[in-house]
Amino acid sequence: MTNHIRKPATLITGANGEMGHGLIEALASSGSNIIIAIDVRSIDQSLRSKCTETITGDILEQLVMERLQSEYEIHTIYHLAALLSTRAEFTPESAHKVNVEGTMYLLKLAVEQSRWHGFPVKFLFPSSIAVYGLPSVSAKKSAGKVAEKDWTMPITMYGCNKLYCEHLGRYYAHHYRQLAADTEKRGGVDFRCIRFPGLISAVTVPSGGTSDYAPEMLHAAAQKKHYDCFVRDDVRIPFMAMPDAIDALLKLEAAPASGLSQSVYNITSFSPSAGEIRAIALRAFEGADITFRPDDKRQAIVDSWPEDVDDSAARRDWGFAPFYDQQRAFDQYLIPGIRQRYAG
């Protein structure tokens, strides 16, 4: 599709992942977007008709990036592709390639694009509670709502990658080639980043994350499958229903730049313990069978993440307000949605 008069397009990397699914549905239903979706796996059939173009390819491949550069006029990038926290511990060097080098390539693409069309490219980047690293369970208990600037000493490769990419984004947005005489050389990247809590979707199941015990527990329960939860019942981290995560990305994208006082924002909705999630699953799904068999190493990762985060800056600067609190999330979204997914 090489048009001479090119229309402003939105690029989504990692389009086949959980967030990609939700985001593409939402963008397609709003109607007005040219959506280019890219993933290393071929894009799900259900998403294809919602995208203008789907590309199966690796963002680390130069040819793929050159194709994106030459064929499209990209105004917005949602860079969702990443290896999550558990997966990344098995292959830390590849995680670094995908999570850091991949992000660099996309930032560079944004710079080049903005030089061509003359507008800043909005770069939406999902970061994570994994950027935090609380040193002990007692520090985690007493930390309360953790602010963006506190406790950023991650213990996972994924957390380190995300934290560094937050800085890279800020660099590309505000300091890129700061010594160049010609300001034209700088490019315009409008980097906007959300640190997401664990996300739970009713329609997709995550893979490779460490907050996965919550969605895995619910999806297993609905299928009457036995589930061994890999963390202790008392462990607590922040979570959010997937539709609120997608809404937040769209809301931050649409926010006027003048109102944004920082480039990285915490958001959260509710912080149930694993035991509370189990109790909800047992009540909701007949035949649910969930036991706790903590894996010390994955437990240690979750123990390093905060119980709660301070999202007051997101609420103040761009009006973040999740629709689904804990009760609504389970009663109106997760339980009916998951039930329906496995019905019949």
- Distance CA(113)–CA(91), nearest Å, equals 32
CA distances (Å), 201 to each of 123, 273, 329, in order?
A: 24, 18, 10
Least spacing, CB of residue 84 vs ligand SER, in Å: 4
For ligand SER, the closer of residues 33 and 161 by Cβ is 161
Residues with Cβ within 8 Å of 117's Cβ and at least 6 positions away in sequence, in order, are 8, 73, 75
The residues of the shown chain that bind ligand SER, judged by CB under 6 A, are 84-85, 128, 130, 158, 196, 198, 209-211
For ligand SER, the closer of residues 211 and 269 by Cβ is 211
- Distance CA(313)–CA(93), nearest Å, equals 34
For ligand SER, the closer of residues 50 and 236 by Cβ is 236
For ligand SER, the closer of residues 126 and 188 by Cβ is 126
- Kind plus residue range of the DSSP H or E element containing 328: helix 326-328
Amino acid identity, residue 156?
T
Least spacing, CB of residue 143 vs ligand SER, in Å: 18
CA distances (Å), 37 to each of 18, 116, 149, 181, in order?
A: 13, 21, 33, 36
Least spacing, CB of residue 309 vs ligand SER, in Å: 12
First to last CA, the chain: 41
Least spacing, CB of residue 175 vs ligand SER, in Å: 26
C-beta atoms surrounding 144 within 10 Å: 12
Least spacing, CB of residue 40 vs ligand SER, in Å: 18
- Distance CA(112)–CA(121), nearest Å, equals 9
Tokens of 280: 């909800």
For ligand SER, the closer of residues 19 and 290 by Cβ is 19
For ligand SER, the closer of residues 187 and 209 by Cβ is 209
Least spacing, CB of residue 153 vs ligand SER, in Å: 16
User: Tokens 């995680």 correspond to what residue?
Assistant: 95
Least spacing, CB of residue 32 vs ligand SER, in Å: 30
Residue nearest to ligand SER (CB): 209
For ligand SER, the closer of residues 72 and 132 by Cβ is 132
